[in-house]
Structure 1
């Protein structure tokens, strides 16, 4: 049995992973899908919430539940959080999976990596209060305004990169992807396993079988499996 902790992307909570988490549990694994601060069903006050807050959310879950040998799986913005968690608590992790997610270096923010189109979206959607970025029209009504601070705060890595299996899943089915350069970089890096899915960005719902296969295969390849 493996233990998965699932980190959602921007504007979304743990509900986004519900179908995947259910299938993991049916397969005999443990799965924790969390909602980051400010993105809960009833959001906490967003003033002061930033990337470090979201990293602390995951670290708290790992500590409170006393989780170890965790496969940390992140989507989109959640890759920023996963990278911070891997830096702060590598001893609790067994592997990292980035589902069409950012894999930043030290000193980088989501803002640096997301590209001009998404930066313009943030500017347009944050004007209402200057603290949160509204979801775009037509998305799932469970989406919440995303704390702006988490998009603009730079990630600080405090130690050498831990030697953990790392998987990057690149969704090829959307033209607006900001991950093309990252895909080219990581597939040339022997420390990464890179997969492609013929899916738009919402891989959990648009390529559910293939996404589940990536997670199960990652667990199967671990030394302790």
Structure 2
């Protein structure tokens, strides 16, 4: 049995991974679908400020609990979730057996999501935060369960020693059919030719689960 910890991207909760988790559990694995702080239905960013450190601390505590028996976990991150899983791996790489990035952000020390995202995304961030200055409104085509995403998480600089790079298995799935172009072009180029990474390109949108969990299951099947 492998324990998979599934971290969604911005605006989304653990519910996004439910189809994948169901298939993993059918195969005898454990799947933990994470909803990050500030993204629960009743969360109020005016009363509970949330930044990147909040999310890293949250996931780090969960991984610490899941690995108490000594067995490492597989961290899976989609989009924004990629920077969260890498920073948690940097704090304790021995607890992580694999890092799986689904069209996600891979940052260098001192970078933020804002630094590496596309100019189109930056414009959306600024346009969508106006209601309260705290949370980015979900994009209009998102699932009704999507929540305003804490803007501070996308502005705060990541802090990495580089220890995360010693996780033995690192895989990246790049979505190549997203309208407007790739959502993580900087990250794609960073790992495309890196021999420490297994890199794949998928003919899907940034929502890599849009057509079901099969592609992602294939990426995880031997872990």
Preserved CA contact (<8 Å) 1:113 1:178: no
**Per-residue deviation, 1:207:** 5.0
Aligned partner of 1:204 in structure 2 is 209
Aligned partner of 2:56 in structure 1 is 55
Query: What residue ranges of structure 2 are gaps of 5+ in the alignment?
Result: none
Is 1:70 aligned to residue 73 of structure 2? yes
Aligned counterparts of 1:109 and 1:62: Cα–Cα separation in 2: 23
Aligned counterparts of 2:217 and 2:177: Cα–Cα separation in 1: 18
Instruction: Return structure 1 stretches of 4+ with deviation > 6 angstroms.
Output: none
Cα gap change, 1:212 to 1:121, in 2 (>3 Å):
same
Equivalent residue of 2:110, what SS?
Answer: coil
**Per-residue deviation, 1:206:** 2.4
Equivalent residue of 1:49, what SS?
Answer: coil
Cα gap change, 1:59 to 1:44, in 2 (>3 Å):
farther
Cα gap change, 1:139 to 1:150, in 2 (>3 Å):
same
Aligned counterparts of 1:142 and 1:65: Cα–Cα separation in 2: 27
**Per-residue deviation, 1:43:** 1.6
Aligned counterparts of 2:197 and 2:131: Cα–Cα separation in 1: 40
Preserved CA contact (<8 Å) 2:183 2:206: no
Q: Deviations over 1:68-97 (max 9, x none)?
A: 311100000001101111111212110100
| TM-score under structure 1 length normalisation | 0.91
Query: What residue ranges of structure 1 are gaps of 5+ in the alignment?
Result: 220-225
Is 1:177 aligned to residue 178 of structure 2? no
Aligned partner of 2:88 in structure 1 is 85
Is 1:33 aligned to residue 33 of structure 2? yes
CA RMSD of aligned residues (A): 1.5
Number of corresponding residues: 218
Equivalent residue of 1:137, what SS?
Answer: coil
Equivalent residue of 1:32, what SS?
Answer: strand
Equivalent residue of 2:36, what SS?
Answer: coil
Aligned partner of 1:96 in structure 2 is 99
Equivalent residue of 1:157, what SS?
Answer: coil
Aligned partner of 1:137 in structure 2 is 140
Compare 133-142 and 41-50 and name the one that shifted more.
41-50
Aligned counterparts of 2:134 and 2:185: Cα–Cα separation in 1: 29
| TM-score under structure 2 length normalisation | 0.92
Preserved CA contact (<8 Å) 1:55 1:81: yes
Aligned counterparts of 2:98 and 2:44: Cα–Cα separation in 1: 30
Corresponding residue to 1:160 among 160, 163, 167: 163
